[in-house]
Amino acid sequence: MKQKIVAIGGGDFTKHQTLNIDKEIVKFSEKQQPKMLFIPTASSDNATYTKNILKYYQDLGCTVDVLFLIKQKISFQEIQSKILSADIIYVSGGNTLKMMTLWRRLEIDRLLNQARKQGTVLCGLSAGSICWFNFGNSDSRKFKNPAADYIKVTGLGFVNAFNCPHYDSEADRKVSLKKMMQKNSGIAIALEDCAAIQILGDTYRIINSNNIARAYKIYWKDNIFYEEVIEQVNTFKSLNELLKK
C-alpha cells in the first residue's frame, strides 16, 4: 500500500480554518464512513480539544475514537487494536518532544509504521505535522519556559525531510528555521497555517484551506539560503524531486 500523509501547518479547526484540508483527509481515506482515531498525546490528552475534534470529524462523516496514553492506562493489545483498525489517524498539536518520547517508550512509533504500510491516512497539525518527518522545528521547550529557543526534535522518519509548522503565524519560526537548517544538509518543508503537504506514496501536492496559505522549500546550498514557494497544483508531483537541492 502507498503511504498517505497530510501534514498541516496550523489553523483553528473550531473556527473551520482547516475545513477544506480536513475534507480532503476524509476523502483521502477512500472509505464511505472512515474510522478516525485521534491521538492527543502532545496536548497531554486535553479533554476539550478531544471532545471538539471528535465532534468535528463526526460531522465530516467519520466514526470516531480516541487513544489516551497519559490519562488512561491501556494495554499494548488495546493500543495496537485502535491504531491498526483506524482508517485515519489524526495527531494533535502540542509538545512534540514529550509526545515522541512517550511514543517510543510505548512502541507507538512501530505501530504507526505498520499503519502507514497498510495505507492508513496519517495526519495532524503542528506537532501532528512534525511527527511524520525526520526532524522538526519545535516549540516544545516553550511550554515550561516561554523564552526558550525552538529546538530540533526527531520524528518518525516517514518523510525524508525537516518540517516547520506555523511558518507565518509565529514570526521567530523563520529566523529559527534558517539558523537550524545551516546545520542540516537536507530540505525543510515550511508550512504556513492553513497549508498542508499531502503525500501519496512517493508523490506530493500542496493543499490549503484558503487562497493565500503557502508552503516553502527551505535549504542552504554553497552558503546561500534558499526559501522557495512550492507550487500549488492539483496533480501529484515527485516527492524525491522536491527533496533535492
Model pTM above 0.95 = yes
pLDDT attached to residue 220: 97
pLDDT attached to residue 142: 78
Q: Which of 46-50, 61-65, 87-91, 184-188 has the lowest mean pLDDT?
A: 184-188
Q: Which cell numbers hold the place of 146?
A: 516561554
CA–CA separation, 206 vs 21, rounded Å?
10
Beta strand 224-229 with 237-238 is unpaired
Is 141's pLDDT higher than 90?
A: no
- Contact call for residues 182 and 155 (beta carbons, < 8 A): no
Mean pLDDT of the chain: 96
Q: Which cell numbers hold the place of 209?
A: 484551506
pLDDT attached to residue 171: 78
CB atoms within 10 A of CB 162: 24
pLDDT tens track for 36-76? 999 999 999 999 999 999 999 999 999 999 999 999 999 99
Cell 519556559 appears where? 145
Active-site residues, by number, are 126, 166
pLDDT tens track for 5-23? 999 999 999 999 999 999 9
pLDDT attached to residue 145: 83
